[in-house]
């Protein structure tokens, strides 16, 4: 009986954060490939941000629509000015329902 009651309890909702699969920089353009279980306008990856290691934002790429049938997908952000001495960039993604992902993608700079 205890097992039946436990089985009927609701499970906590798990966040479906976007996953950054890859990133690269070419000059001042950062390209990011990400995947996310987009379901439509109610839940989709809606942006990513380029940060320095100390958390300074260098740019925000807004994703204006769901990518339900295009997974993973790559989008770029131009005019990213990396300050002198910065040896890596941190990129974080967000979705329309769950907000910013806890983990960042580290992009080493040569």
For residue 73, is it within any domain?
A: yes
User: Whole-number mean pLDDT of the chain?
Assistant: 87
For residue 29, is it within any domain?
A: yes
For residue 9, is it within any domain?
A: no
- Split into its structural domains, the chain has a count of 1
- The token duo for 56 is 């300074």
- The pLDDT confidence band at residue 12, using thresholds 50, 70 and 90, is very low
Give the phi and the psi of residue 4 in degrees, each rounded to 5: -65, -45
Q: Cis omega before residue 72 (within 30°)?
A: yes
For residue 4, what pLDDT is reported? Answer: 45
For residue 16, what pLDDT is reported? Answer: 79
- Does this model's pTM top 0.85? My answer is no
Report how far residue 69's alpha carbon sits from residue 96's, in angstroms, rounded to the nearest whole number. 17
For residue 69, what pLDDT is reported? Answer: 78
Radius of gyration of the chain, Cα coordinates, nearest whole angstrom: 17
CATH number at residue 34: 2.60.40.730
For residue 2, is it within any domain?
A: no
The boundaries of the domain holding residue 22 are 16-108
């Amino acid at each position: 009986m205890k097992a039946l009651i436990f089985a009927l309890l609701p499970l906590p909702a798990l966040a479906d954060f976007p996953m950054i699969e890859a990133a690269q920089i070419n000059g001042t353009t950062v390209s990011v490939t990400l995947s996310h279980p987009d379901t439509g306008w109610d839940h989709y990856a809606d942006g990513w941000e380029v940060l320095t290691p100390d958390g300074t934002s260098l740019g925000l790429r807004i994703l204006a629509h769901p990518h339900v049938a295009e997974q993973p997908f790559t989008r770029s952000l131009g005019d990213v000015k990396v300050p002198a001495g910065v040896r890596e960039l941190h990129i974080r993604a967000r979705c329309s329902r769950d907000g910013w992902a806890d983990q960042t993608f580290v992009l080493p700079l040569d």
